[in-house]
Amino acid sequence: MTYQIGHLVDRVQARRKLDQRLDRIRSLADQPRPHRGWIRAIRDALGMSSTELARRLGISQSRIPDLERREVDGSIRMNTLKRVADALDCDVGYYLVPRTPLDEMVAAQARRKAESLVASVSQHSRLEDQEVSAESIAQQVDELTATWIDRRGLWAPTNTDA
């Protein structure tokens, strides 16, 4: 039991520490990419022709427009983007930025899971003419939500999620 509590505390602390790091970059996630892409924007700002970039990459000039198009449409490979960034004397910043704080995501998922399970049990109770009050259902959801937070299987589908 002590291991489980320690593991839970570690996970909560790790989630909060990661959220603090993410807070510093969340505003960047809202910034739109230049409409012709970062490769083209940096290349143009440097005054570098596609022929010069191609030479730095060791590829033919005819491939540069394709690289720029693939960056814009999101199909460029990460290792290719890193090579292009190096050729432009740039670094690639790569982040997954949650739309909401991690604690909120976990709490919302725990609530959804609890609501799903309680709804399933409530349905069976109604079928057996054992109606449960809305207040009782709400209390059960709250209690079950608290037990689901940071539990294994939180993100696995329930039998009612089919």
For 95-144, the pLDDT digits (tens) are 888 989 999 999 999 999 888 888 877 665 555 556 667 787 888 888 88
Residue ending a domain, among 22, 55, 87, is 87
Residue 73 predicted with pLDDT over 80: yes
10 within a domain of the structure (yes/no): no
Quote the tokens at residue 2: 């002590």
Whether residue 76 is found in the same domain as residue 107: no
| DSSP output for 76-143 | --HHHHHHHHHHTT---------SS-HHHHHHHHHHHHHHHHHHHHHHHHHHTT----HHHHHHHHHH
Residue ending a domain, among 87, 119, 153, is 87
Whose CA is closest to 8, among 152, 155, 158, 153? Answer: 152
* pTM greater than the 0.75 cutoff: no
Range of the domain at 152: 98-161
Q: Into how many domains does the chain fold?
A: 2
Whether residue 150 is found in the same domain as residue 118: yes
Quote the tokens at residue 94: 């790569």
